[in-house]
Amino acid sequence: MAKPEDSDNDNRLNLWFNYTFVLFAFAVPWSRSIISVSSLLLFILWIAEANFKQKFIKIKTQHIMMGLILFVVYMFSTLLWTQNYSKAFLNLKDLYFLIVPVLAYTSLQKKNLPYVMLAYTAGMIIDVTLSYLIFSNLIQFENVSPDNPRVFMIHLDYSMILAFFIFFALLVSVHKEMPLHKFKKYYIALAVLTAIMLFIVQGRSGQVAFFITSLFMIALIALERKKYTLLIAAPLLLVFIFAAAYMLSPNFKNRMLNSYYSLEQSFSGNYSSSWGKRIAANKISWDLFMDNFWLGTGAGDNIDQFTEKMNDPKFAEIKQLMPVFQKTHQHNQYLQTATLGGIVALALLLNIFFQLAYARHKETWSRNLIYITVMVFLTGFIGEPFLAKQFTAALFALAITIGTQNLHS
């Protein structure tokens, strides 16, 4: 039996874990340094808290948590057959965030969930407010223009942050049993303002994720509640929103036109545009994946082998992009995962989404939050490896944490 002073110490450590998680949630939309420090502190506090037997018993009964652990462990095991360790570090460093939901599953107290959500909301308010101030030319930041008013991250990542928060705010406003529902009027306003900003910034990943996830949630709600008119009315409203954005937002209009022309050029063999680079990357990545089907290239060798493949005569028209791909990623989370760790890694990644989608929830709001998380990231992963980016990897971890606090054992 634990001594009273031991119990007091455990409670104190757990209290600090919960404080730190609230800080982590607050930082997710805007602060790299706080995300890094708070996530490290979470791990240290979780270790110091001990009670490992009880924690492991709880973790091993939850398939989502086991799926996250298996994926991370396997991806780090690919260090055993890689040669480029510096690039391996860059590819794997942000996968640590997938362990954060596991830590929180055993140590985050459900009663503190409203504070976590409130902290996340406060962080988003800071981020979006600064974007509007820049857009309105009221303040200025170096290397940030009113035409693309993102402050803390590149536009691709920011668009994903915005897209997810729109759905989060709508969930809070709709579900009466959800924490913070008493502030529903404010969350509706936040959802509208965030949606407008989504179409101001130049990030297509979040815009596409917003569109696809909206269609999915509309279909889900219509079928569950047998309100079949929603299947017609809601998609029409969605089309109206995108049409209005096209007419009112020069950024959105230009990005849509650029997408059309870049796709047209790509089909003609010109891969110099944004979409063209992604198509080119997908072609070479698929070939690389098939060459290393089972176990991949290893954690750090994918880009080295990727650039070598450009010397293959069948990729002659893509070789002009070599300087770009020598320095960056493969513009697709699925292919990046598959080339790093083979079909095993890809299967483990998809298993995370499978386990999330089929989890049993005590409350509808948490189920819907997980569905939204699955759809936003499944879609976003097509255009960018968001698990290799700090802000989006941290958001993925936070969304899973919030959504898995109401699971059936």
pLDDT tens, the chain, 409 aa long: 345 455 667 789 999 999 999 999 999 999 999 999 999 999 999 999 999 999 999 999 999 999 999 999 999 999 999 999 989 998 999 999 999 999 999 999 999 999 999 999 999 999 999 999 999 999 998 888 898 899 999 999 999 999 999 999 999 999 999 989 999 999 999 999 999 999 999 888 999 999 999 999 999 988 888 888 888 888 888 889 889 888 988 888 887 888 777 777 777 777 877 788 888 889 999 999 999 999 999 999 998 998 888 888 888 777 776 666 666 678 899 999 999 999 999 999 999 999 999 999 999 999 999 999 999 999 999 999 999 999 999 999 999 999 999 887 6
Look at residue 1 in the predicted model and tell me its pLDDT: 36
**Token pair recorded at residue 103:** 């830590």
- Amino acid letter for position 138: L
Beta-carbon contacts of residue 155 (< 8 Å; ≥ 6 apart) = 148, 201, 202, 203
Decide: 156 and 382 in contact? Cβ < 8 Å: no
Look at residue 328 in the predicted model and tell me its pLDDT: 67
Look at residue 322 in the predicted model and tell me its pLDDT: 65
How many CB atoms sit inside 10 A of residue 351's CB?
Answer: 17
Look at residue 409 in the predicted model and tell me its pLDDT: 64
Q: Is 384 helix (H, G, I), strand (E, B) or coil?
A: coil
Look at residue 227 in the predicted model and tell me its pLDDT: 83
Q: How far apart are CA 399 and CA 371, in angstroms?
A: 10
Look at residue 325 in the predicted model and tell me its pLDDT: 63
**Token pair recorded at residue 395:** 């958001």
Look at residue 229 in the predicted model and tell me its pLDDT: 86
Look at residue 350 in the predicted model and tell me its pLDDT: 98
Beta-carbon contacts of residue 90 (< 8 Å; ≥ 6 apart) = 300, 388
**Token pair recorded at residue 194:** 């965030």
